[in-house]
Chain A
Amino acid sequence: MSRFLFPRWSNLVLPTIILAALTIPVYAVFFVAYGFSPKTLEVGYQPKQPVPFSHALHAGELGMDCRYCHTSVEKAAHASVPPTQTCMNCHTQIRPQSPKLADVRESYETGLPVEWTRIHKLPDFAYFDHSAHVNRGIGCVSCHGRIDKMEVVYQKSALSMGWCLECHRNPDPNLRPVSEITNLAYDGATELTQTERDALKKKYHISPSEDCSTCHR
């Protein structure tokens, strides 16, 4: 009889299919979840900057307030990058001849800005306003990490939509009084009681929206 029945080796096919059906999806899930995650792809981005400016020195050791340079953070969507003139407020007097500052002096003389490399990028379709956050008790450290300990700044957070939503769904651990906004060492999670946090929430009218149109306008 000429009918086709499976040869003996095909007995291996079924266990292979079952094994593949079990392992491939697990592998694919892990691969996508970790390999494509902004936690893998974005966090730790630390480009070389044109000037070896140390946040650890300025914001950390010297204790300068973030707002001395990033002036618009409380008033505008963007926390502006300072112009060279801000640097020269001090550096005309302090270490005016330092070779590390050569590019800054050149920029000061020519009027062409220092071309800093931007680290924290949000896509154009995501609307984010610094002022809305810092004026309502979300400190710099919540998103940017301990800048005062970074010699060269790197991206601390994933800046993914899920990461935004985590805080919008539960802002409590990140709340602090507005007076402590730029205090990077302040930890609202340990220094505030829940009653105090609730009071802050009431005071700052905090009820973060999760609607699409909040960020995608």
Chain B
Amino acid sequence: MTTLSHDSQLGQMSDNTVDRPGERAPLVLNMNTFGQVTATVCRVNEAEKAPTAWYIAFAGALGLLSVLGACIGYLIVTGVGVWGLNNPVMWAYDITNFVFWVGIGHAGTLISAILFLFRQKWRTGINRFAEAMTIFAVICAGTFPGIHVGRVWFAYWLFPIPNQMEMWPQFRSPLLWDVFAVSTYFTVSLLFWYTGMVPDLATLRDRAKGKLQQVGYGIFALGWRGSNRHWHRYERAYLILAALSTPLVLSVHSVVSFDFATSQLPGWHTTIFPPYFVAGAIFSGFAMVVTLAVPARELFGLKDLITLRHLDNMNKVILVTGCMVGYAYSMEFFIAWYSGAMYEKFAFINRAFGQYWWAYWIMVSCNVITPQLFWFKKIRTSIPIMFVLSLFVNVGMWFERFVIIVTSLANDFLPTSWDMFTPTWVDIGTMVGAFGLFFTLFLLFCRYLPMIAMAEVKTVMPQADPHGAGAGKHGHHGHEKGHH
């Protein structure tokens, strides 16, 4: 068992952000056995009481959730006039929030699907709760189109349902494509999340002491017994779902961007929108994962599973997508000038120096300047700094959608129809309340479901590899296949 003891040395290496030639940096620290992984993850769900911070956070989240409920209730009984919308600014906080939350969701799918297909092993530590974040973010996003239609009881008209009025949604409108894109995205993400969780739910079931937990986890574990056949089918299903989700990472936010890009409003009518929106979505999504991961790993003692290397990698993704977003911002200005279209030019100059200049510059400083700090490894691996920076990115990405939507609408072709949007307290309450919905769901998830994909994390530990464990020591890692 010399190989194992070597691995345990590897596992105890405290800084796993360093890359050493010929060695894989460990993704699980201070653990030698699979049992330790299981115990660490399950401890969160099995504890009699959650950490005090959880109760405080949950109370706060429920408070915000009730603000959301109150604001939506007031909206429904009174009408959309309670928002600050006017003519020409017919979309403002509602659609800003919608795009913001859909964007947040993208990191989950990227981590779970694309990184899976590319065999990026570090995804295993964070994919479970990134996917959970995706689902909760899409729930928040879905709320907004539902309530912004005015007569909420007709929200089902969003869907093409045969009816005696022979009335159909406009199939040529991206707003309808959006309905399909987002609902497909939600369904596939939910299936993916749940499928991946089945073995872990079975673990919780097997360890549960109480009858309620046994039956509860038992039902959702679908009778999983860990047989060879179960694993075989599970792996197949997971791979298929990963393949199905992969195009969704690109398609959903592309379709969301069509809501704007296919219109003829200067500031919206831009071909760069689909890739620019997708990059922005992944950018904001990863920032949100960092925002959630940093406190979660502290609070629930998961630092050995969500290691600094995981965070470092995510910060690199934020840096890359942040550069793309910055490129898109500058390209918009270039095209506004290069096109020679005076309305286009005006829209962008107005965006930066018009009445909403402050929103524009908040966006630029948060989304373009902030991520550039991640070029420095010291900053990428500093917990407090990355947490603050991720918050900046979240703020910046919210403002990006606000800037795109509101500044373009407020000043269109005709100066006579220009107007200024000012949010009402209901606008602000709904926006803040959505965070309550998100965090309520997320905190419940942390408490009652396995936050880390135990079964998957175990596969990336050196102990899972019966052949390669000793290879690193002798520097033969690359020739591993030659031995067989």
Residues of B within 8 A of A36 (CB): 164
Within 8 A of A (CB), among B167-226: 167, 202, 205-206, 208, 214-215, 217-219, 223, 225
Complex contacts, B206 vs chain A, CB 8 Å = 1, 3
What is the bound-complex CA distance between A3 and B202, given in angstroms? 9
| A5 partner, pick from B162, B164, B208, B223, beta carbons under 8 A | B223
**B163 partner residues in chain A, CB cutoff 8 A:** 162
Known: A4-B215, A5-B223. A166 touches B166 (CB 8 A): yes
User: A162 to B218, Cβ gap below 8 A?
Assistant: no
The A interface is mostly helix, strand or loop, or mixed, namely loop
- B166 contact set on A, CB distance < 8 A: 161-162, 165-166
B165 contacts the other chain (CB 8 A) = yes
Interface 1/0 per residue, A1-14 and B, CB below 8 Å: 11111100000000
Q: Check B165 against A2 for contact (C-beta < 8 Å).
A: no
Interface residues of A in 141-165 (CB under 8 A from B): 158, 160-163, 165
A189 sits at the interface (CB 8 A): no
* Chain A residues whose CB sits within 8 angstroms of the CB of B215 once the complex forms: 4
For B166, B167, B217, the residue with the greatest tally of chain A CB atoms inside 10 Å of its CB is B166
Task: With CB as the reference atom, state the residue of chain A lying closest to B166.
Answer: A162
Convert A80-107 into 0s and 1s, putting 1 for each residue whose CB lies closer than 8 angstroms to a CB of B.
Answer: 0000000000000000000000000000
In the assembled complex, A194 has its CB within 8 A of some CB on chain B: no
Q: Are B164 and A6 in contact (CB under 8 A)?
A: no
CB distance A162 to B164 under 8 Å?
Answer: yes
- Judge if A38 is at the interface, Cβ distance under 8 Å: yes
In contact, B214 and A3 (Cβ under 8 angstroms) = yes
Given contacts A5-B225, A6-B218, A6-B223, contact A37 B164 (CB under 8 A): yes
A:34-70 near B, CB below 8 Å: 36-39
- Across the two chains, which residue of chain A brings its CB closest to B213? A4
Contacts of B225 in A (CB 8 A): 5
Judge whether A3 and B218 touch: CB under 8 Å. yes
Note all chain B residues with C-beta closer than 8 A to A165. Answer: 165-166
Q: What CA separation (Å) do A165 and B165 show in the bound complex?
A: 8
Q: Given the complex of chains A and B, what is the CA–CA distance between A5 and B164 in angstroms? A: 48
Beyond the given pairs A3-B206, A39-B164, 19 more chain A to chain B contacts, judged by CB atoms under 8 angstroms and listed by A's residue number, are A3-B205, A3-B214, A3-B218, A4-B208, A4-B214, A4-B215, A4-B218, A4-B219, A5-B218, A5-B223, A6-B218, A6-B223, A158-B164, A160-B165, A161-B166, A161-B167, A162-B163, A162-B164, A166-B166
| B contact residues vs A (CB 8 Å cutoff) | 162-167, 202, 205-206, 208, 214-215, 217-219, 223, 225
